[in-house]
Amino acid sequence: MQYRPLGRTGLTVSSICLGTMTFGEQNSEAEGFAQMDMALDHGVNFLDAAELYPSPPKPETQGRTEEIVGNWVKARGLRDKVIVATKVIGRSEMTWFRNDGSEGRLTKAQIDEAIDKSLRRLKMDYVDLYQVHWPEREVSGFGSNPTRFVRVPPKADETPIEDILGYLDDLVTAGKVRHVGLSNESSWGLMRFVAGAEVGKGPRVASIQNAYSLVNRIFEVNLAEACDREDVSLLAYSPLAQGYLTGKYENGALPKGSRKQLFNRLQRYEKPGTAEAISTYVAIARDFGVDPALFANAFVTSRPFVTSNIVGATSTEQLKVAIASASFDFTSEMEAAVDAAHQLHGNPCP
C-alpha cells in the first residue's frame, strides 16, 4: 500500500480509501465489518462516509452507514489508527435530515446539527475530514463540472462560500473537525474556498472528492492544475463508473443484486455514447490480459494527481480486486491505449 499526503494537513492517507455507502443497504453490518477488516489488513487507513448514506438516500435508512463505521472503529479500538471522513449535504429538497423538516442548506444551524448527529452515530468526539457533499449554490449539473455549461441564476437564499467557510471554522475551533474538504465542486468553487482561507475566513480546504474514471476525466481539464498548485488532494470516487467499467452490464446484461437491478439509479453512466466508450475500455483491459475492474481501478490509483481512490464493493472478493490496484503496474503501453480511446470518446459521463 502507498501512502500520500492529504493536502497540507500533515496527515498521510492510503492510496486506497474504503467507500462505505453500501453499508446499511446492500451490505449488512457484519458484511461492512468484514470489508473494513480486510481493508485494514491490507494497509488501508482511510474510511469515507456521509450523513446521506447509505445510498440511495431515504429516511428509513439514513445514517446507518455512519453507525456501522462507528461501531466497527469502537469495537476494534482503532480511533487513533484510522482516518475517518464524512460529509454534510448541500442544497437539497430532502427534508428528513434536519429535526425541523427543513430542506438541506449550508447554514450555520444546519451544519452544527449535521456534525453533532454524525459524531453521535460515529461514536466519536471528532472527524478527521469533514466535507461539503455538494455545493450550496445552484449549479448546472451534479458534480459541478459539466461538459456543457448551462447558466443557473443564483437562488435568493444562497449561502455565501465565505460564510460556509466560517461555519466550518467554528467546528474546527470546537474540536469537532480536524480538517475540511469539498466534494462535487468546480474549479471556481474550489478557488473561492481557497481565497477565503487566505484572507482569514476559515480553514484551508484539504481535499476535493469528485468523480474520476476512464469515462470521466473532467477533473483533468482545469481542476488538476488548481489542486496541484494549491496542494488540494483529489479523493476520486466512482472509479468503476458505478460498476459499468467491470463489463458486467455489457450487451444489456442486468446481474441480479447489482445496483442497476436494485435501484436503477445509474443514469450518469447511460448517456449517449457511453456504451461504446465503456466497451472500448473493457476490451482494452482484456487485450492486456487484465480483469477490467482491476484495470479501471489501477488507472485511477496510478494517476499522479490522485491522493486516494475511493473504492466501493458489496463483497470482499470485489474489494480484494480494488485493493490490488494499489500495487498494479499501469504501464506506458496501457496509458497510450487509454489516451487513444479517450481522444475518440472524450468524457461521456461527467
- Give the CA angle between residues 305, 306, 312 to the nearest 5°: 165
**Which residue type, as a one-letter code, is found at position 80?**
D
Q: Counting beta carbons within 10 angstroms of the beta carbon of residue 172, is it exposed (0 to 12), middle (13 to 18) or buried (19 or more)?
A: middle
- 53, 167, 249, 269: the catalytic one is 53
* CA neighbor of 311 nearest in space, from 299, 145, 72, 51: 299
| Strand ranges in the chain using DSSP code E only, listed in sequence order | 3-5, 12-14, 16-19, 46-48, 83-88, 127-132, 177-183, 205-211, 233-237, 306-311
Decide if 243 contacts 259 (C-beta within 8 A): yes
Helix boundaries (H) for 231-270: 259-263
* CA neighbor of 128 nearest in space, from 69, 68, 176: 176
Residue 17 C-alpha cell reads as 480509501
> What are phi and psi for residue 168, nearest 5 degrees?
-65, -35
Active site includes 3? no
Residues in the chain: 350
Residue 84 C-alpha cell reads as 475517518
Distance of alpha carbon 296 from alpha carbon 275, whole angstroms: 15
* CA neighbor of 220 nearest in space, from 279, 134, 349, 306: 306
Q: Catalytic residue numbers?
A: 53
